[in-house]
Amino acid sequence: MIEIFNLEFMRNAFMAGIMLSPVLAVVSFFVVLRRLSFVGVGVAHSAFGGIALGFLLGISPTLTAIVFAIAVSNAIGYIGRHGKLSADTAIGIFFAFAMALGVVFIGLSDQYNVDLFGYLFGNILAITSNDLIIIALLGGFVLISIFLLFKELLFVSFDREVALVSGMPVAFLDHFFLTILAVSVVISMKIIGIILVSALLVIPGAAASQITDRYIPMIAIAIAVALTSTAGGLLFSYYADLASGATIVILSTIIFFILFIVGRFQR
């Protein structure tokens, strides 16, 4: 097993996975608590439009994806809160709109770029030292931001109405969470892929909720699930010659069912 760490792309993949796992796990905790699973799916797929725009303009697709995903996630939140449509309907509209824009941008591009499909399905070969720096900086920003506003986010997640009556800035907290959700999606795309990243925004928190109702243990278990899934999925995908993103998600799903069964016996 030691020989795989002699390969630079595998070292980069493991470092990226270790840094991403706590970020996705903590965000997953709030996604499950706030019942925003479909929002994660919508934001993840909307980032495709931003990536395609980056390739079309010849600039960093990560930068354009972040701007695009943040804009779409906050638009979903705004329309869901102020419009006559449900949040699910708003997600469906922006989901389709962003994907359609991505297809148009690809069509306008003069050349076929295989890297674009690496973002869709994940590509551990594409992770560079620059990507690790971006993941470390933006992942650190997400974790620090959540730490600073943890009590407020938890309060709004548990009882939104009481938080409103108490005078908390609920609208700001909603948009803040949607923003860090979008950032988490974008920094995870290369290793997991747009198609699958939404799974790791749900599964770690959902798995942890099967065996505990206390938020500190739930976060710790979610982080353990994410780390185990990422490290185990990368190892298995290397030796079995499988797609890394898909293997990570399949392993995390297996862990979810194991904890589901354990939770049933506990009850």
Contact 170, 156 (CB under 8 A): yes
Q: Which two tokens stand for residue 28?
A: 């997953």
Does residue 120 register a pLDDT over 80? Answer: no
Q: What is the CATH number of the domain that holds 209?
A: 1.10.3470.10
Q: Angle of helix 244-266 relative to helix 170-192, nearest 10 degrees?
A: 120
Does residue 252 register a pLDDT over 80? Answer: yes
Domains contained in the chain, number: 1
Does residue 146 register a pLDDT over 70? Answer: yes
Half-sphere exposure (Cβ direction) of 100: Cα atoms closer than 13 Å: 6
| Alpha-carbon distance values, 230 to 151, 157, 179, 188, 199 (Å) | 28, 27, 24, 11, 12
Give the list of residues 6+ apart from residue 59 with CB closer than 8 angstroms, or none. Answer: none
Domain that holds residue 217: 2-266
Nearest to residue 51, comparing CAs of 19, 16, 99, 112? Answer: 99
Count CB neighbours of 133 within 10 A: 10
Q: Is 259 exposed, middle or buried (0-12, 13-18, 19+ CB in 10 A)?
A: buried
Does residue 112 register a pLDDT over 80? Answer: no
pLDDT at 127: 82
Measure the CA–CA gap between 49 and 102, rounded to whole angstroms: 4
pLDDT at 113: 61
Does residue 111 register a pLDDT over 70? Answer: no
> How do residues 150-192 score in pLDDT, each as one tens digit?
999 988 888 778 878 888 888 888 889 989 999 998 888 877 8
Mean pLDDT of the chain: 85
> How do residues 227-243 score in pLDDT, each as one tens digit?
999 999 988 888 888 88
Rounded mean pLDDT, 93-109: 83
> How do residues 30-73 score in pLDDT, each as one tens digit?
988 888 777 777 888 888 888 888 888 888 888 888 888 898 88
